[in-house]
Amino acid sequence: MITLLHHAVQAKPPGTGIVEYLTVFVLAAFVGIEVVSKVPSILHTPLMSGSNAIHGIVLVGALAIMGEAHGTAQLVLGFLAVFLATLNVVGGFVVTDRMLEMFKGKPNERTRAPKGADSGPSDPA
Amino acid sequence: MPAVSLPLSTVRDLVYLVAIAGFILALKGLGSPKFARQGNQLGAAAAVLAIAMTFTLPELRHSGKNLILALIAMVLGAAIAVPVARRVKMTAMPQLVAIFNGVGGGAAALISVIELLHLHSLGRKPAVYITAEVLLGVLIGSVSFSGSAIAFIKLQELITGRPITYPGQQVMNAIVGVAIGVLILVSLLTGNIAFVFILLALALVLGVIFVLPIGGADVPVLISLLNSFTGLAVAASGFVLDNNLLIVAGTLVGASGIILTRLMSSAMGRSLPNILFSAFGSVITATGGEEGDASRPVRTGTAEDVGVLLAYARKVVIIPGYGLAVAQAQHTARELADALMARGVEVFYAIHPVAGRMPGHMNVLLAEANVPYDELKEMDEANPEMSTADVALVVGANDTVNPAAKTTPGSPIYGMPIINAGEAENIIFLKRSMRPGFAGIDNELLYDPKTTLLFGDAKDTLAKLVSAVADA
């Protein structure tokens, strides 16, 4: 099994890669469509924001390309790519979490804070 | 340990596969109210795992100053993203999502450019399909980048939210479109990388001219579409880099983003082409003018009168809209609701699916103000109760209660489901002015004999109502 896997990884005849990737692409597209076919409208915004964070994984690509960058131009562009991708992935997940945090708890468990204490912990900043 | 050991590259691919599964589950979770937050956290965990694993790439690990630069860029990015994402006001959230989306598209475009430069510097002439992947990544990523930037500027109200049109717009769009098509063809045929940079520039222009004619109310749908574009750009960079993780994650977002965009536009009762291109033709015919129809009489009231009306009502329905959000009035609205409930008045909020600036935005804003769930009713649940309500209190909403959606076939919002505020015994509009809503159409309900208007900032007016109810 392991050897098979090994071979599959190693022995890739030239030119077949693109077909494999296209297969993956098509399958992923169907999964993507299927997964969100029924979403209540209150979750449209968090879902958009959450999927926005997921494509932040482009950071993996930015890091990979940074590894092979040579020369000033490639390095500068690579630095920029890593920076932008980090903004996307980190900011995306954090802001989505903040949105969803507000949906926590069940109606009955939610106790109303007394007046004056309902604005949350006051931040001096 | 047995003697068999997997090569590191295989382990890395397997970890990426785990991350892929995590992302699919994350998307699934985000679609259900119960598991949304766990879904997002799972997605974040998958991302952290995949990013950490990427540092095992020998090229990156042994790249010396490249590695250091990459780490600096990451620290810098995180140091900016975390505080911004944590501190941004919830009303400004759509803009922020636009920005985070745009930078992702920018990163994807840059990756494609760098890979091309890299291949070029090695003296290799890339295969045609690789050039095609690069061109797609650059095109889609750049459009998403500049389009998101304009969407941000519109939502931040740095420029007008109204559709921006100018003479010769269609000609200009056609020229840019044709130029891009020709460039792609020429680059594919010649493999000359100079064309890629021209394409980059033109794609940035395309993003701008694509977004300018789209009205402020439709921008959230547009952001969802651009989000989908960025996903596809990321998938394209996955093809360029031979990376399944990027292909799958990008495609997932690309495909689900298209579906989500359609869900959003149908919640607004519009078709996607209508949203994207309506400003080009003359589809918007029923505009009511900047200040509405000044010649028709409306009834304005005082906070004291309305306060008494509310205090002695049995059932009050609050219909919040974007005006409530811009005035940051959600906390004051809750105070008013609490004061009324303390007097035994039945109060609930009727939430239109597209209230606020994005679908679901209003729920987030009211949840932030600690409004309990059981006081929030979705439109379908609220509408049957409207006829038994004594007062419909419309706070900063307009299009979502406009009967033109039902009665005027020529209207741009015709067919959009609305909250039947008109069925209530009394209708109170809290408005800043007679200006029509985002859709730019007059609201017949404002002239209804049952309607009383209270002009002013939503927050101030609500505060006056709170004290009026207390005095009543």
Which residues of chain B have a CB within 8 Å of the CB of A50? 26-27, 30, 36, 39-40, 43
Tell me which chain A residue has its CA closest to the CA of residue B23.
A54
Residues of B with a known catalytic role = 399
- Per-residue pLDDT of A28-84, as tens digits, reads 999 999 888 778 777 888 899 999 999 999 999 999 999 988 889 999 999 999 999
Label the pairing between strands B346-351 and B376-378.
Answer: parallel
Residue A114 touches partner B, C-beta closer than 8 Å: no
Tell me which chain A residue has its CA closest to the CA of residue B367.
A102
The neighbouring-strand residues paired with B317 are B348, B392
pLDDT of B17 > 50? The answer is yes
| Interface ipTM above 0.85 | no
Which residues of chain A have a CB within 8 Å of the CB of B84? 91
Residue B179 touches partner A, C-beta closer than 8 Å: no
State how far residue A78 is from chain B, nearest Cα, in angstroms: 7
- Per-residue pLDDT of B78-110, as tens digits, reads 999 999 999 988 778 888 999 999 999 999 999
Contact B155, B218 (CB under 8 A): no
Residue B176 touches partner A, C-beta closer than 8 Å: no
Residue with tokens 């760098």: B114
More confident residue, A79 or A108: A79
Mutate to test the interface with B, among A3, A37, A52 (most CBs of B within 10 A): A52
Separation of CA B334 from chain center: 25
pLDDT for res A13: 53
pLDDT for res B322: 80
Domains and CATH numbers, chain B: 93-283 (no CATH), 303-471 (3.40.50.1220)
Which residues of chain A have a CB within 8 Å of the CB of B59? 64, 67-68
Contact B139, B180 (CB under 8 A): yes
Residue B250 touches partner A, C-beta closer than 8 Å: yes
Once rounded to an integer, what is the mean pLDDT over residues A83-98? Answer: 95
What 3-state DSSP class applies to B392? Answer: strand
Tell me which chain A residue has its CA closest to the CA of residue B86.
A95
Which residues of chain A have a CB within 8 Å of the CB of B225? none
Contact B110, A80 (CB under 8 A): yes
Q: What is the pTM of this model?
A: 0.78
Choose among B331, B353, B351, B368: nearest CA to B459: B331
A120: CB partners within 8 A, 6+ apart: none
- Per-residue pLDDT of B430-467, as tens digits, reads 888 776 665 566 788 888 888 988 888 888 999 999 99
Which residues of chain A have a CB within 8 Å of the CB of B255? 28-33
- Per-residue pLDDT of B358-416, as tens digits, reads 777 788 788 878 888 778 888 888 899 899 999 999 998 888 888 888 887 777 677 77
CB contact under 8 A, A102 and B43: no
Tell me which chain A residue has its CA closest to the CA of residue B22.
A54
What part of B 80-99 touches A (C-beta under 8 Å)? 80-82, 84-86, 88, 90, 93-94, 96-97, 99
End-to-end CA distance of chain A: 58
Going B90 to B91 to B95 to B98, the CA torsion angle's sign is positive
What part of A 42-101 touches B (C-beta under 8 Å)? 42-71, 73-75, 77-101
Residue B224 touches partner A, C-beta closer than 8 Å: yes
CB contact under 8 A, B241 and A64: yes
Residue with tokens 């979750």: A43
Once rounded to an integer, what is the mean pLDDT over residues B127-143? Answer: 92
CB contact under 8 A, A32 and B372: no
pLDDT of B241 > 60? The answer is yes
